[in-house]
Every structure is written in C-alpha cells, then in structure tokens.
C-alpha cells in the first residue's frame, strides 16, 4: 500500500519534468502503480482508514507524484457519501473547455505541496478529456466543477506544472471577480 512517504514533495526536481507518453500494453509495474494510486486515494478519503495509516486526503494522483515520469493519473471522486467513481486517464489531453473559469474557494491543495498556499488558481469550469483506459481504448470524459478542476490539476503535473505556478505572486487574488468560486 502506498504511504504518504511514497509521494514526492515539491522540492523534488522530478515534479518539474514533462512525463513521457505511455505505450500499450501497460507494463506490470504501471498496472500495479495504478492499483496502488487508486487504493491510496480511496483510503485517504475514508476518515478511519486515513487516520489509521496517516494518509492526507486526496482526490487525484499522477504517476510523477510517485516518481514515475509517465503520462497517467487516477482520480477517486466521491460523488455521494461513501460512493466513489474511479477514473484512470492515460496519455490525457483536454480537447475542449468552457470559457467560464472557476476556482476553489478555500484554495487548491496538492499531496506534493505540504503547506497551505494562499491565492486562487484559475481553472475551466468544464472540460472534455480525451485519454486511454488501461486496455488502450480511447475514452472521452466530460467533467465539470470540482471534477474538472482535479483533471486539470493532474494534467498539469504531467507537464511539470504545480498549482502554485498559477497563483499570481504579487496579487494572489488577481481576477477573482471574473471567476466563480466553488
């Protein structure tokens, strides 16, 4: 089982590298990584398990965050109390997005950034993602609001970008009035 210590910190230079495209079929190692990442995220969102294993809660995790420079990430989305939807996106890209922008009102967070960062991160309110599933089949996912934010956050990781890079250093709340808080 993945532990917090397995997730690399923002000081690790690998987080600033662009991850490589994945080829199919997936290796045993990649399949295991995907399984472990899903397990971590699922357990991290269940209070008693998170406490027992000292897991920080997270909705998304990219391969680079566990030191694997490959273009895939997983999202464990709790759409209803105790009910989860699991997304595995391999070689993902945004193929369309809304004009409307949103931001997380209480601030975006990241399992690789172990501190609170003040400011807003502009994100598209809606995105359509194109990616591949674990079998190499092309998939399309339409996401909105918090799910869209997670997809964009994790895609940034694959491009060596952290959420803190989107926050204006001089004016952390720049253009707040032009976006909607969620």
CATH number at residue 119: 3.90.45.10
Q: How far apart are CA 147 and CA 145, in angstroms?
A: 6
Give the structural domain span for 96: 4-181
Mean pLDDT, the chain, rounded, equals 96
CA-based radius of gyration for the chain: 16
Residue 82 has pLDDT above 90, yes or no: no
For residue 4, name the pLDDT band (cuts at 50, 70, 90): confident
Is there a contact between 120 and 176 (Cβ–Cβ < 8 Å)? yes
Residue 1 has pLDDT above 90, yes or no: no
Q: What is the pLDDT of residue 73?
A: 98
- What integer is the mean pLDDT of 30-58? 96
Total domains present in the chain: 1
pLDDT digits (tens, 9 = 90+) for 108-127: 999 999 999 999 999 999 99
127 exposure class (CB count in 10 Å sphere: 0-12, 13-18, 19+): buried
- What integer is the mean pLDDT of 29-36? 98
Q: What is the pLDDT of residue 96?
A: 98
Is there a contact between 75 and 60 (Cβ–Cβ < 8 Å)? yes
Q: Where are the beta strands (DSSP E) in 18-176?
A: 60-62, 72-80, 83-97, 101-103, 123-124, 126-132, 138-144
For residue 25, name the pLDDT band (cuts at 50, 70, 90): very high
Residue 57 has pLDDT above 90, yes or no: yes
For residue 58, name the pLDDT band (cuts at 50, 70, 90): very high
> b/e map of 107-126 (b: 16 or more CB within 10 Å)?
ebbbbbeeeebebbbbbbbb
Sign of the CA dihedral 137, 21, 78, 135?
positive
Interstrand relation of 126-132 and 123-124 (parallel, antiparallel or unpaired): unpaired
For residue 9, name the pLDDT band (cuts at 50, 70, 90): very high
pTM attached to this predicted model: 0.96
Residue 132 has pLDDT above 90, yes or no: yes
**How big is the CA angle at 41 (ends 40 and 43), to the nearest 5 degrees?**
65
**Active site (annotated) includes residue 154:** yes
The residue length of the chain stands at 182
């Amino acid at each position: 089982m993945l532990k917090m210590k397995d997730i690399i910190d923002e000081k690790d230079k690998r987080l600033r590298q662009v991850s490589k495209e994945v080829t199919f079929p997936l290796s045993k190692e990649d399949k295991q990584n995907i399984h472990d990442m899903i397990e971590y995220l699922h357990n991290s969102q269940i209070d008693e398990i998170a406490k027992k294993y000292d897991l920080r809660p997270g909705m998304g995790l990219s391969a680079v965050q566990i030191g694997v420079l490959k273009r895939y990430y997983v999202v464990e989305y709790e759409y209803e109390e105790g009910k989860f939807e699991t997304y595995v996106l391999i070689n993902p890209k945004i193929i369309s997005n809304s004009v409307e922008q949103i931001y997380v009102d209480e601030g975006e967070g990241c399992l690789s950034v172990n501190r609170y960062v003040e400011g807003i991160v502009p994100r598209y309110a809606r995105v359509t993602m194109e990616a591949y599933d674990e079998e190499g089949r092309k998939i399309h996912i339409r996401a909105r609001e918090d799910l869209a934010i997670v997809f964009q956050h994790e895609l940034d990781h694959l491009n060596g970008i952290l959420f803190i890079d989107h926050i204006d250093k001089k004016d952390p709340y720049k253009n707040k009035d032009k976006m909607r808080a969620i």
